[in-house]
Structure 1
Amino acid sequence: MRTVAEKVDLTVQWLREQVESANMSGLLVGVSGGIDSAVVAGLIKRAFPDHSLGVIMPCSSNPKDREDAMLVVNGFNLEHIELALTEPHALLLQSINEKLKAKNAFRDEVSKLNDGNLRARLRMSTLYAVAGHYRYLVVGTDNAAEVYTGYFTKYGDGGVDLLPITHLKKSEVYEWGKYLGVPQEVLDRAPSAGLWENQTDESEMGTTYAMIDALLDGEEIPEKDRQIIERLHRISEHKRTMPPAPPKF
């Protein structure tokens, strides 16, 4: 069995190969202050020390997110830029909601989720706008648990060029983080997509990453958690496939 160091080295080499085959110049990642983006930041810095970029995008975010994101980019000495998205997000959301209300189509019960998904998609659009100028590939941060349960925004954090940690269970992400030297404050914080105030991944999913990891390993878990996880997997199938198209008539 390969060590974490060997797996990291192979992943770094894979990242280099992907950039070369795409005839691009480097790699870019959105740095949120969470463990997943921190690990990816460490990987792209190793792959391309002089051609990697972290993008910090506050969007009505908790100030602690930016503080932790800065710990990550400074800790890895990763070149970075910061783009504040709070104002453009608010203007766009207000315009959408006003138009929907005028059509009597606004639904308060889905407004919170729509708000969060809009943030994720605005961030990804921003990343691609920046990446085009650098000729960098956009690197995603989704791990195995998130992919299996569909815990990502379609065409938001799920819309990327590369997914280097998609095979890692959440526990393995932490192992890689420790090996790469992710700041302890980031390792200790509760996982959150930062889509709204006080949001955490596990409270939103209704189960824990430990339970998802155990299921992915084929272990027995409580029936309540198994049903939650399998339901999330079932209803998010559309996120893991290309959009459906009719046959050629």
Structure 2
Amino acid sequence: MAETRKKAEEMVLIIENWLRSKMDDAGCAGGIVGLSGGIDSAVVAALLKRVFGENMLAVKMPCHSLSEDGDHADLMIDSFDLPWTSVDLSDVYDRFTEILSLDKNSLAAANIKPRLRMTVLYALAQDSNFLVCGTGNKAELTVGYFTKHGDSGADLLPLADLTKGEVREVARFLGVPAVIVEKAPSAGLWEGQTDEKEMGLSYDQIDEYIVRGGKCEASDEIDRRFKLTEHKRKLPEACIVFEDRI
């Protein structure tokens, strides 16, 4: 237990120093994060509060979301005394899907939610001279489990080198409430949705793949997904017409 706590403390120190450096480089005052009620956003919010104090903002953005998620977001706000605001996107989402004649049960419609949230975060960030801090971890980035130009739309990814298990270790070290740490991870895109059910993979499998350098029982499937989602981890491909241009 002591060794686990020491490792978590070291990870926190590295991330905090990195956040300070990146904000200084950008000439920004602090960071903003979407607070979903899940563990990843809780950890990023707690880190931002530790580093920047009042110069951070946690944004609740319900969009026909589960009441439990809102309760857990509120629990984080109360537990860490987070500066916060709330922007309800339900009506905007309804109107958007109506204009596009989209089936609200489709993945195309579900992915509108994180893209609307990204738009809100960047508008609020620019207004306060903040940088948008994403919540993606190493496991999600490895298999491409994120919405392109949605939750991947961020300036900084503080958790990008941490497995899901390491995120839990950091969360416990920071004092994130146990109910948030232990809940089944979910993007909250629809009723009953969980990350692992949608991926068809467990976070433990993906974490093992990362830690063991690509060696685990699910390595073939994870390799396949890594290859298929490579475009999500890169800037848009540019067609090079003139090879001699800078």
Runs of 4 or more above 6 Å deviation: none
Q: How does 1:1-249 map to 2 (within 5 A)?
A: 3-97=7-101, 112-218=106-212, 220-222=215-217, 225-249=218-242
Whole-Å separation in 2 of the counterparts to 1:112 and 1:68:
26
Question: How many residues get paired?
Answer: 237
Q: Distance in 2 between matches of 1:18 and 1:221?
A: 35
Amino acid at match of 1:191: P
Q: Which residue number corresponds to residue 101 of structure 1?
A: none
Compute the RMSD of aligned alpha carbons: 1.6
Structure 2 distance, partners of 1:39, 1:189, is 14
Conserved? CA contact 2:11–2:170, under 8 Å: no
- Counterpart CA distance in 2 for 1:232 and 1:93 is 28
Q: CA deviation at 1:3?
A: 2.6
Deviations 1:109-167, CA, capped at 9 Å, x for gaps: x9611112100100010111111111110000000000000000011000100001100
Q: Provide the secondary structure at the position in 2 that maps to 1:3.
A: helix
Matched AA of 2:13: D
1: CA distance between counterparts of 2:74 and 2:83? 11
1:206/1:228 contact within 8 Å kept: no
Name the SS for the 1:29 alignment partner: strand
**Aligned AA (1:181):** G
Separation in 2, partners of 1:138, 1:188: 26
* Counterpart AA for 2:106: K
Greater alpha carbon shift after TM alignment, 4-13 vs 133-142: 4-13
Q: Distance in 2 between matches of 1:214 and 1:10?
A: 23
TM-superposed CA distance for 1:248, in Å, is 3.5
Q: TM-score, normalised by structure 1?
A: 0.91
Relative to the length of structure 2, the TM-score reads 0.92
* 1:146 aligned partner, one-letter code: E
List gaps (5 residues or longer) in structure 2: none
